[in-house]
Amino acid sequence: MQADVTDASTLTALERSLAAVLRLLADRAMTGDIARRSGYDLPQASWSLLEHLDARGALRVSDIAACHGVDISSVTPRLKKLERAGLIARGRVATDARAFLISITPEGVQALESVHAARREILERVVGGTDPARLAATANVLSCIALRLADEPAPAAAD
């Protein structure tokens, strides 16, 4: 763990701001706006799965479920819906005929880019007039937080 470089009030403000932004981005009206702008209407959990596959490449269903902290039976319906929409593809694992690898399709990549573009349109509207240097610094801090959180080991389960 790093030495304390930030005072408690700054960390509190950061945590509350991040929580508010996440809540607003997941709001039904916002997700509806993103769906209209992008042309794709999927639940946030499905976008999360596509982002995961886009970042990590083809994965077994069990690996996808483990990464999201859910049971295979919970992720399978979402995967089937994405497969029916043509956003992911299922292929056999060469070394295990019983197992499948799930990968994002070119249509899935296009769908993700449409959603990213819709989010950028919204961000452009709400941060308009903000100093570009402050925005760049904010983006750097958020990227650093995301990278460090991705490297943070999961806490041990309580007995």
Rounded CA gap, 5 and 140, in Å?
Answer: 17
DSSP 69: T
Summarize pLDDT for 78-118 with one digit per residue, the tens. 999 999 999 999 988 888 878 889 999 999 999 999 999 99
> Tokens representing 4?
């304390």
Rounded CA gap, 24 and 127, in Å?
Answer: 15
Domains of the chain, first to last = 26-151 (1.10.10.10)
> Tokens representing 132?
């570009």
Instruction: Give the mean pLDDT of 151-156.
Output: 63
> Measuring CA to CA, which residue among 73, 22, 78 is closest to residue 46?
78
Summarize pLDDT for 13-35 with one digit per residue, the tens. 999 999 999 898 888 899 899 99
pTM: 0.78
Q: What's the first-to-final CA gap in the chain, in angstroms? A: 24
